[in-house]
Amino acid sequence: MGEGGSPERAGTRFASVPWGVLMSGLVAVDGKRSVATRIWWLDNLRIAAIVAVVAGHVCVWPEGSVSLPAYVANALRSLFTVCVPLFVMISGALTIGPSATLDSRLARRARGLLVLLAFWGLVYIGYAHCVHKAYNIKGVVASFVLSVTPGSFHLWFLYLIIGLYLVTPAISFLFPQYSPRAWLAFCLGMAACFFQVGIGPTEATREFSLVHLDSPLPWLTVWVPFVPYSIMGRLVFDAGIPKTNAVVGWLLAITSAAACWCVVTETRGYTSLPIFFLSTSLFALGKCLWTSPVFGAAATTAVSQSVFGIYLIHNLFRNMFRDAGGLEVIADVADGRPVVTALLNFGVVAAILLASFLVTRALQQQAFCRRLVS
């Protein structure tokens, strides 16, 4: 595989991929890749995305304070928001393509994720039941069926990835039948229909979208607006992007413009046009520039293989820290002190990431427990 290219082009079969097994953005489809055959820029982006997830969930900016300048806080929030689009693009890069073998893996993996959703949903519901409010059987069932946040808001991503896994075989069947330009037009068309425009003087106008997917069963539709991200991931993965100064300069310009768009309009929705352009340009920049393992080969492999577990576990640590009064302490201490705000948030994010990583690695050493974090 060329450093900037793809081992498989549209229309080839994934069974011929040299590294032999596939990983989605957050969740392993099947097996593991050896250190020698990993795609480092995808591993690096996966690690960056999980850092953004934890930072977005943990960082505290006291409301009405001057802990951080508004434009700095908006910029950080926008960068944190690209985490889910990056995960979905990585998933699409490695799962879209004609392969009956991969289709069966995706179906099997979707069933496995349903089991994990039930397990971790019950874990978080149990924690909330003990600490905050009592759940009865009706409430437990309703939290799974009538919402996408059973026990914890971050579990909505499992509904999202299950939906994408189920629709990916259909996309893979159609993918080689149309040109990359046609798929790009399809993605832009879906974005124009389903994404928030991110333009206008008021929050209502910025959050306007042509199509609203309101459903009494939100898990039926939560994945739909993310289809363009999945396809864009595959398109960028297949694209032979020249690593010239001109191309990198254009990508940096698009990234900067999209970031400014987010900061000025305070747009932070996963499915918004500025986040779409920001995420896609960052994904392409990662392919061009981030081709060496960020922590060294062994460490990057270990962290990348732990990303799913970190995602599942980190909110337990975050909730325990919050319920112990930690977030309020940060807000009180950091109020009006930008440097202290940054240092405290960095420390808490690093601690939760490390704790989640260590627990994940410990569980991965046990055959049964490994299934709970991979």
pLDDT in tens, the chain (374 residues): 333 333 333 333 333 332 223 444 555 444 455 555 789 999 999 999 999 999 988 876 554 444 566 667 777 777 789 999 999 999 999 999 866 566 677 888 888 999 999 999 999 999 999 998 888 889 899 999 999 999 999 999 999 999 999 999 999 999 999 999 999 999 999 999 999 887 766 777 777 888 888 888 999 999 999 999 999 999 999 999 888 899 999 999 999 998 888 888 877 789 999 999 999 999 999 999 999 999 999 999 999 999 999 999 999 999 999 898 887 787 777 777 777 777 888 899 999 999 999 999 999 998 889 989 98
Domain count, the chain: 1
- Asked whether residue 12 is domain-assigned, the answer is no
pLDDT digits (tens, 9 = 90+) for 271-284: 999 999 999 999 99
Residue 313 lies in a domain: yes
Write the pLDDT tens digit of every residue in 24-77: 455 544 445 555 578 999 999 999 999 999 998 887 655 444 456 666 777 777
In a domain, 4, yes or no: no
HSE (side-chain half, CA atoms, 13 Å) at 358: 7
- pTM value? 0.87
Other residues' Cβ atoms within 10 Å of the Cβ of residue 18: 9
Is residue 29 in a domain? no
What angle is formed at CA 47 by the lines to CA 44 and CA 49, rounded to 5 degrees? 110
The reply to whether 278 falls in a domain is yes
Residue 10 lies in a domain: no
Q: Is residue 111 part of a domain?
A: yes
Answer whether residue 142 is part of any domain: yes
- Rounded distance between C-alpha atoms, residue 49 and residue 46, angstroms: 5
In 108-239, beta strands by DSSP E: none
- pLDDT digits over 118-142, tens only? 999 999 999 999 998 888 889 899 9
Closest CA to 94 of 255, 287, 368: 287
Classify each residue of 265-278 as buried b or exposed e, where b means 16 or more C-beta atoms within 10 Å of its C-beta.
bebbbbbbbbbbbb
Q: Quote the domain boundaries for residue 297.
A: 39-370
CA distance 169 to 365: 32
